[in-house]
Amino acid sequence: MLQGIPTTSGQCDWSPFALLLIDVQRDFWEEALAERFPEFPTNVARLLELCRSEGIEVIHLRASFKLDQSDWMPRYRLRGRIPCVEGTPGAETLPVALALPNEAVISKHTFDGFCAPELPAYLRSRSKRFVLTAGLVTSTCVLFTTASAMQSGFLAAVVDDCCADEPMAHADTLDRYQFIFERVSVSRIRERNSEWIAALERLEGT
Residue 6 has pLDDT above 80, yes or no: no
Residue 145 Rama label (left phi>0; alpha psi -120 to 50; beta): alpha
Please state, rounded to an integer, the average pLDDT across all residues of the chain: 95
- The reported pLDDT for the residue numbered 4 is 42
Q: Using alpha carbons, list the distances in angstroms from residue 27 to 37, 98, 153.
A: 15, 15, 31
Give the CA radius of gyration of the chain: 17
pTM for this predicted structure: 0.94
* C-beta separation of 52 from 100 below 8 A: yes
Domains of the chain: 21-204 (3.40.50.850)
Query: Poorest-confidence range of 2-16, 85-99, 133-147?
Result: 2-16
- The reported pLDDT for the residue numbered 143 is 98
Cis peptide before 137 (omega within 30 of 0): yes
Residue 5 has pLDDT above 60, yes or no: no
What are the φ and ψ backbone dihedral angles of 53, each rounded to 5 degrees? -75, -30
**Residue 5 corresponds to which amino acid?**
I
Residue 42 has pLDDT above 70, yes or no: yes
Residue 39 has pLDDT above 90, yes or no: yes
What is the pLDDT confidence band of residue 1, given thresholds at 50, 70 and 90?
very low
What is the pLDDT confidence band of residue 2, given thresholds at 50, 70 and 90?
very low
Q: What is the C-alpha separation between 105 and 25, in angstroms, rounded? A: 13
Q: pLDDT digit string (tens) for 127-168?
A: 999 999 999 999 999 999 999 999 999 999 999 999 999 999
- The reported pLDDT for the residue numbered 11 is 83
- The reported pLDDT for the residue numbered 141 is 98
* C-beta separation of 24 from 136 below 8 A: yes
- The reported pLDDT for the residue numbered 10 is 60
